[in-house]
Structure 1
């Protein structure tokens, strides 16, 4: 039997999930699958959760329709007819469990005990929905200051217009609310299935954070030297040669108007999460 699965996620992309993935995969007993695997299982849980709510809301109509059928009345439109009784809910929950079972079996097949999956961006409410259906799930939620997030996203060419930058800032603001709430309570009320990591603290105090991650997850033997190599992109050398041509691109700087817009949207949250930082720290030096 595999140990508790782990969801590795963050409020927004370019926050450090790749580093956490690489650290987990370097361990003696764990593997962290990539974004395709992670997104599939989150979206499957999202679908199942939505449909379970729909099944519950439709229960009265279902009882009426099945009563008609059992009485021999077939002369009406049965577009909403679902499986009888508890079978719809069992089918949805069972689909998630079967999917997880295959993750478990795949992990055992490579002689690992713990699997994780990386999802670079997820709202915490979706973490909760996923854990509702995978009851033993644990989540490592890593966050990073918005200025460095935007610098990294800008390097990838994600901002064609100002509205793209606004959207990225609003996403970070919305998805860090749970972190801010936990910080206000000195992380005393943190759910047992959640481990929050600040990217800057992870890189500055790597060994301490590795020990905390191992204690939280049951992983062992994480290799700290993995963090010595910077990786933030992947480009194959050619179509025939999949060896990466580039594994790291230095983040671009921010223009003054970009810093001012970031501060306008995210400044209050930044002062709460990063009181030691200010907009001036990220302004152009020239």
Structure 2
């Protein structure tokens, strides 16, 4: 099994993650699986909970204080035939065993079917997951590769609107949902201490981006003409534009992020 899968983290929907997924898979060596609906976040959260139960009782974790489970397990082993008289309320298997179990599960879930199809490695792309899930996967796969993808949020929201994902015309709730989701992930990706950051605009317009991607992934077989020749995009014939109110809300709430990523609001 490959110990260096590739994980694509996209700042929300309509950011080019499927294009990037197909681009990497076109190398013929890596099969990048699609979105898991946030399931990876659930794995990450459950892993944190095991860590809490194993941690010291006076240590604060994301979900509360530690459960002393590692100490309880150690005492359980040392007690021999008297082990059942020892406190074991939060006892769990060692951390390395828990980590290897998650790895075995993901290898079987994603790796095995990819290898059965003739690929030497595998990966997953996700549009919901944030940096905590990336660090969880880095713990499980120390040699994994991570790509953090962002796209101009005005183009993202417009693409979502054209596909009628806004639910109600001029209703603010869907706009704020997608806006806040993009903002959260874009900020997390900017501060990541691992992986390769990529802007969608560079991916489709700057040929050197493919070179950077190939070098980082150590994949020499990514075709440079794939994006120009690809015809699998999900086209929309809906002729709508962002309203002045939508542009104003985006500009105000994403002021810092727009500056950080050098994105600009289209003409109002």
Q: TM-score, normalised by structure 2?
A: 0.79
Q: Is the 8 A contact 1:5 1:115 kept in 2?
A: yes
Q: Give the equivalent residue in structure 2 for 1:174.
A: 184
Q: Give the equivalent residue in structure 2 for 1:59.
A: 68
Q: TM-score, normalised by structure 1?
A: 0.75
Q: Give the equivalent residue in structure 1 for 2:7.
A: 7
Displacement of 1:248 in angstroms is 1.8
Q: Is the 8 A contact 1:26 1:223 kept in 2?
A: yes
Q: Give the equivalent residue in structure 2 for 1:200.
A: 201
Q: Give the equivalent residue in structure 2 for 1:139.
A: 146
Q: Give the equivalent residue in structure 2 for 1:243.
A: none
Match of 2:244 among 256, 261, 268: 256
Mapped partners of 2:190, 2:267: distance in 1: 22
Q: 3-state DSSP class of the match of 1:270? A: helix
Displacement of 1:108 in angstroms is 2.7
Q: Is the 8 A contact 2:54 2:70 kept in 1?
A: no
Mapped partners of 1:113, 1:134: distance in 2: 16
Q: Mind listing any 5+ residue stretches in structure 2 that lack a counterpart? A: 56-65
Match of 1:149 among 156, 175, 179: 156
Q: Give the equivalent residue in structure 2 for 1:213.
A: 213
Aligned residues: 248
Give runs of ≥4 in structure 1 deviating > 6 Å: none
Match of 2:172 among 162, 179, 193: 162
1:267 aligns with 2:266: no
Displacement of 1:31 in angstroms is 1.4
Q: Is the 8 A contact 1:11 1:143 kept in 2?
A: yes
Match of 2:117 among 101, 110, 116: 110
Q: Is the 8 A contact 1:5 1:137 kept in 2?
A: yes
- 1:60-99 paired onto structure 2 within 5 Å: 63=72, 70=82, 80=89, 82-83=91-92, 87=93, 89-99=95-105
Mapped partners of 1:3, 1:52: distance in 2: 22
Q: 3-state DSSP class of the match of 1:117? A: strand
- 1:224-243 paired onto structure 2 within 5 Å: 224-228=224-228, 229-232=230-233
Q: Is the 8 A contact 2:69 2:90 kept in 1?
A: no
Mapped partners of 1:200, 1:262: distance in 2: 19
Displacement of 1:124 in angstroms is 1.9
Q: Give the equivalent residue in structure 1 for 2:60.
A: none
Mapped partners of 1:171, 1:216: distance in 2: 27
Mapped partners of 2:84, 2:41: distance in 1: 42
Displacement of 1:18 in angstroms is 0.5
Write out per-residue CA displacement over residues 62-99 of structure 1, whole angstroms, 9 at most, x where no aligned residue.
739968x937659x9x8x4534xxx2534421321212
Q: Mind listing any 5+ residue stretches in structure 1 that lack a counterpart? A: 182-189, 233-246
How well do the aligned residues superpose, as a CA RMSD in angstroms? 3.0
